[in-house]
Chain A
């Protein structure tokens, strides 16, 4: 805080009792509103200068030349920079403060990663360049693949999946391909109720029936009930470990053994790998396939919702079925690309095929490898230990204020789970989340997992300092107390954010998904309004 003004000087403002009047601009100092680009510019201006203005070309476009220019506004560079800079200031971000979204692992994004990803040898190479001109890129893929295999104790890795859910699909398709190769048409995948929604969605997309695995009272998979359900119709299980309640599945090895004994495979959702990286290898627990969110554990930026990257590590049993393309290191040390053209030279005929056009998220591979090498073996283990330490610190400092349904189940791993039990009548988890926004923090994950009423899942990650955590904890305590005391004002939060609570019902009832123009100003009709041509 600033010290009091010793000189006694005051601005010339009468008796000093005046109140702030609304501004004529609608803005308020650094709180700046920003129009849409469509309201800022017309479609005949551009912010790009070209070397030449092409004269008359003798076109080779057949009869397909465009009749009317696309109605896209163009802004000069200063206007563009200002537009996006002003918009950026309406976002919360890790760079501004803790972002304790459970299950999302919002850790610091090192800037060296960004610098490396932009090296021309990585950023400015085409995926179909002759292989001899991109050996370094294959080496990056192969080196990262190697460390992912070592860190997980698995046999192989599919690098091409483009995000966690894409990786899940890859793993489930491997399981399905392996079973089909054995002539075994199993139909059911078992998924715990606490699982992320992508798990059942993925299994269903791959043609499986999804059945729930019950949990024990302490928040873990009920091994006895799981064993009862296993049988010749069960293709496999999808288990998240550490699970979404923030707990390590103690019986993981026994679960894997039971599933294998029944002829099925074990998929592990690796979203929470951050808690155990360098400490535990999923391969040692009998896992057959696990995706790794490079944007979580290995710090590639979330970018406001992607791009992600979801390599899938595979057991020896599933590796032969993994997708094309991938890299392989030969005995002479050279790294090769295995794709359709080179398939005959490599023994990978069982591959279930291609999941996307090219080789995977190279821009994320360079960042993740940079991260792994920066931390090294000792640093990665410290990552797991610090993130678990931070989460347990949050759990124990808050369990006298908020209900911790599994607080007695032992230490948590990377995230601490609370429920809305004990809040005053009419107050909910949402009120706590919105109250935290006014406190200057991004809220925790809310209403997930579904197995806990009004769930609040706090994942601080290892990149928060103790001071930062103490401030976050104090704010959560403060807001939780308001919700327990029935402070009506909390229903109106947030008050200080760029927007108050937004009407999501209206947004969904009559969706407006593209700019419609100013009211009363005629706009260009959409093709559907004109009718089919």
Chain B
């Protein structure tokens, strides 16, 4: 087996050195009745690199890759062009095959990257600090709710209607077990985010208000207004950013009064990957640092006085605090954080702004063009690179028919909210720099044909 360097001679020699006759002498503590007698049922024997690659390639071909069709899906995962150097650099063995930097003297590469990453995220979010990443946006969102509970010592969280429904259900799952009380509900098909309805839910028991920015329908809520209302009642504002590219063009949530900002960092550097691995971003005010979940990298000096970096404040974490830890999280999304950070370093603030402008301009074009399709109404007045259109019939069926005609035309609200009849005709359309004007035209004409009932 190509991954196993021991030869049979090595094995014999080593068994002898140990004082064992055969390998099963080393498994004596496994009761005989628990030992497998033969092979794992049905699993073939070892296979060559060529054979396995062929099998996996066959499976991969059964999928329609985003690059092979006009592609307009978003709703929490966005397709952006990732510069070739990003993937090259994250495959450097020194990054790819390193562990958590527990021995900082020989992990300064990883640690400096994390320090730079934390600074980039904090500046992007407009927060004082950021951590070294969490699993993904949805789990980061839940961690923020729990953290707000610890800070305010209250346990009722108000989730804005525009929060991604999978983020809501992730939080609901966890809240069932922690006894946190969550207010939530589906959005209305309306151009207005209805901040007043959210504000009306804030009371003295409220730990935090959780607002997605831009929201699931692509609308941009007035964070500052909600922040003021939350702060008046001693609650925190948690802003959720699922599309960080938006922050190249719209104001940073921290600058609008958000106390905790979480996000999904997949847009930069990581790619779609069918939903994972992704990258949880987490920033907050400096005064909350000791309540933060996840790993933190900090600056210090070594014995010679040289600048260096270490993981720090681990007294919050499970390996020290065990059952009293701020979270059970034991990992970050290190390699995805590296990819995000490299992509961000290539872009810089200027590149991020240009990228965001292109996204917005393509989205403007698409909204205009799709709005011209008979029977289609564009819901949003305000949006970044994602907006909602309302179709004359169930969008789930339309999406399927579009796919049959080779267009990946967005995420139907019916898939996201299967129990909400009122949303069934809604379709969320994301338009990034990867969507060409020709793609937009193809989408519009195919949509028109589907809605007119024309044969493919």
Task: Check B170 against A163 for contact (C-beta < 8 Å).
Answer: no
What are 13 A-B contacts defined by CB distance under 8 Å?
A59-B364, A67-B251, A126-B66, A151-B40, A163-B329, A253-B34, A279-B36, A354-B169, A362-B275, A373-B44, A375-B1, A434-B105, A511-B312
Q: Name which residue of chain B comes closest to A362, CB basis.
A: B274
Contact of A411 with B by CB under 8 A:
yes
| Extra 4 A-B pairs, beta carbons < 8 Å, given A65-B250, A341-B414, A379-B46 | A95-B94, A126-B66, A356-B135, A442-B99
Contact of B453 with A by CB under 8 A:
no
Contacts A512-B298, A514-B119 given; does A369 touch B56 at CB 8 Å: yes
Task: Check B23 against A247 for contact (C-beta < 8 Å).
Answer: no
Task: Check B347 against A66 for contact (C-beta < 8 Å).
Answer: no
Give the A-B pair count, Cβ closer than 8 A: 734
Interface string of A481-525 (1 = CB under 8 A from B): 000000000001010011111111011100111110000000000
Task: Check B352 against A70 for contact (C-beta < 8 Å).
Answer: yes
- Using Cβ atoms and an 8 Å threshold, which residues of chain B touch A309? 276-277
Contacts A70-B349, A85-B89 given; does A357 touch B43 at CB 8 Å: no
Task: Check A363 against B322 for contact (C-beta < 8 Å).
Answer: no
Contacts A60-B382, A165-B318 given; does A507 touch B345 at CB 8 Å: no
In the bound assembly, the distance between CA atoms of A207 and B26 in angstroms comes to 39
Contact of A475 with B by CB under 8 A:
no
- Using Cβ atoms and an 8 Å threshold, which residues of chain B touch A85? 89, 92
In the bound assembly, the distance between CA atoms of A309 and B335 in angstroms comes to 13
Task: Check A164 against B298 for contact (C-beta < 8 Å).
Answer: no
Task: Check A134 against B63 for contact (C-beta < 8 Å).
Answer: yes
Q: Identify which of residues 412-448 in chain B touch chain A, using a CB-to-CB cut-off of 8 Å.
A: 414-416, 418, 433
Q: Name which residue of chain A comes closest to B167, CB basis.
A: A357
Contacts A253-B31, A369-B56 given; does A125 touch B65 at CB 8 Å: yes
Interface string of B138-172 (1 = CB under 8 A from A): 11000000000000000000000000101101101
Task: Check B106 against A359 for contact (C-beta < 8 Å).
Answer: no
Task: Check A442 against B103 for contact (C-beta < 8 Å).
Answer: yes
Q: Identify which of residues 251-297 in chain B touch chain A, using a CB-to-CB cut-off of 8 Å.
A: 251-252, 254-257, 264, 271-278, 285-287, 289, 295-297
Task: Check A389 against B335 for contact (C-beta < 8 Å).
Answer: no
Contact of A472 with B by CB under 8 A:
no
Task: Check A112 against B170 for contact (C-beta < 8 Å).
Answer: no
Contact of A422 with B by CB under 8 A:
no
Contact of B132 with A by CB under 8 A:
yes
Task: Check B351 against A91 for contact (C-beta < 8 Å).
Answer: no
Closest chain A CB from B135 CB (angstroms): 4
In the bound assembly, the distance between CA atoms of A501 and B103 in angstroms comes to 9
- Using Cβ atoms and an 8 Å threshold, which residues of chain A touch B124? 70, 72
Task: Check B52 against A197 for contact (C-beta < 8 Å).
Answer: no
Interface string of B361-378 (1 = CB under 8 A from A): 101100100000000000
Contact of B390 with A by CB under 8 A:
no
Task: Check B77 against A126 for contact (C-beta < 8 Å).
Answer: yes
Contact of B331 with A by CB under 8 A:
yes
Task: Check B298 against A507 for contact (C-beta < 8 Å).
Answer: yes
B169's contact among A95, A120, A340, A437, by CB below 8 Å, is which?
A340
Contact of A162 with B by CB under 8 A:
yes
Q: Identify which of residues 89-129 in chain B touch chain A, using a CB-to-CB cut-off of 8 Å.
A: 89-110, 112-113, 115-116, 118-120, 122-124, 126-129
- Using Cβ atoms and an 8 Å threshold, which residues of chain A touch B249? 59, 61, 65-66
Contacts A135-B63, A198-B330, A411-B20 given; does A361 touch B105 at CB 8 Å: no
Closest chain A CB from B223 CB (angstroms): 8
Task: Check B250 against A66 for contact (C-beta < 8 Å).
Answer: yes
Task: Check B41 against A150 for contact (C-beta < 8 Å).
Answer: yes
B345's contact among A80, A204, A390, A434, by CB below 8 Å, is which?
A80
Sort A-B residue pairs by CB-CB distance and give the 8 closest, nearest first. A74-B348, A358-B275, A121-B60, A303-B335, A136-B62, A95-B93, A127-B275, A46-B351
Q: Name which residue of chain A comes closest to B99, CB basis.
A: A302
- Using Cβ atoms and an 8 Å threshold, which residues of chain B touch A372? 43
Q: How many residues of A are in contact with the other chain, CB < 8 A?
A: 208
B10-18, B181-189, B195-203 - interface stretch: B10-18
Contact of B70 with A by CB under 8 A:
no
In the bound assembly, the distance between CA atoms of A80 and B42 in angstroms comes to 48
Task: Check B62 against A121 for contact (C-beta < 8 Å).
Answer: yes
Closest chain B CB from A48 CB (angstroms): 5
A341's contact among B58, B302, B415, by CB below 8 Å, is which?
B415
Contacts A125-B65, A201-B327, A393-B17 given; does A502 touch B251 at CB 8 Å: no
Contact of A272 with B by CB under 8 A:
no
Task: Check B106 against A532 for contact (C-beta < 8 Å).
Answer: no
- Using Cβ atoms and an 8 Å threshold, which residues of chain A touch B414? 341
- Using Cβ atoms and an 8 Å threshold, which residues of chain B touch A504? 300, 310, 312
A10-18, A34-42, A224-232, A312-320 - interface stretch: A34-42
Task: Check B64 against A60 for contact (C-beta < 8 Å).
Answer: no
Q: Identify which of residues 165-223 in chain A touch chain B, using a CB-to-CB cut-off of 8 Å.
A: 165-166, 168-169, 173, 176, 196-198, 200-207, 210
In the bound assembly, the distance between CA atoms of A356 and B174 in angstroms comes to 10
Task: Check A514 against B3 for contact (C-beta < 8 Å).
Answer: no
Contact of B328 with A by CB under 8 A:
yes
Considering residues A38, A196, A374, which has the most beta carbons from chain B within 10 angstroms of its beta carbon?
A374
B109's contact among A91, A99, A151, A284, by CB below 8 Å, is which?
A91
Task: Check B418 against A341 for contact (C-beta < 8 Å).
Answer: yes
Q: Identify which of residues 42-61 in chain B touch chain A, using a CB-to-CB cut-off of 8 Å.
A: 42-47, 49, 52-53, 55-61
- Using Cβ atoms and an 8 Å threshold, which residues of chain B touch A376? 43-47
Q: Name which residue of chain A comes closest to B362, CB basis.
A: A54
Closest chain A CB from B119 CB (angstroms): 4
- Using Cβ atoms and an 8 Å threshold, which residues of chain A touch B304? 500
Contacts A47-B347, A210-B323, A357-B170 given; does A437 touch B105 at CB 8 Å: yes
Q: Name which residue of chain A comes closest to B71, CB basis.
A: A126
Interface string of A340-357 (1 = CB under 8 A from B): 110100000000111111
Contact of A383 with B by CB under 8 A:
yes
In the bound assembly, the distance between CA atoms of A196 and B330 in angstroms comes to 10
In the bound assembly, the distance between CA atoms of A387 and B60 in angstroms comes to 32
Q: Identify which of residues 68-87 in chain A touch chain B, using a CB-to-CB cut-off of 8 Å.
A: 69-75, 77, 80-81, 83-85, 87
B39's contact among A69, A115, A252, A378, by CB below 8 Å, is which?
A378
In the bound assembly, the distance between CA atoms of A108 and B6 in angstroms comes to 14
Contact of B73 with A by CB under 8 A:
yes
Task: Check A201 against B322 for contact (C-beta < 8 Å).
Answer: yes
Contact of B136 with A by CB under 8 A:
yes
- Using Cβ atoms and an 8 Å threshold, which residues of chain B touch A166? 135, 139, 329
Task: Check A121 against B65 for contact (C-beta < 8 Å).
Answer: yes
Contact of B344 with A by CB under 8 A:
yes
Closest chain A CB from B314 CB (angstroms): 8
Contact of B450 with A by CB under 8 A:
no
Task: Check B271 against A87 for contact (C-beta < 8 Å).
Answer: no
- Using Cβ atoms and an 8 Å threshold, which residues of chain B touch A463? 3-5
Considering residues B30, B89, B122, which has the most beta carbons from chain A within 10 angstroms of its beta carbon?
B30
Contacts A127-B274, A410-B29 given; does A370 touch B354 at CB 8 Å: no
Contacts A34-B112, A356-B170, A377-B43 given; does A382 touch B1 at CB 8 Å: yes
Q: Identify which of residues 376-397 in chain B touch chain A, using a CB-to-CB cut-off of 8 Å.
A: 380-384, 396
Q: Name which residue of chain B comes closest to A208, CB basis.
A: B323
Task: Check A91 against B14 for contact (C-beta < 8 Å).
Answer: no
Contact of A130 with B by CB under 8 A:
yes
- Using Cβ atoms and an 8 Å threshold, which residues of chain A touch B164? 357
Contact of A116 with B by CB under 8 A:
yes
Task: Check B98 against A303 for contact (C-beta < 8 Å).
Answer: yes
Task: Check A72 against B20 for contact (C-beta < 8 Å).
Answer: no
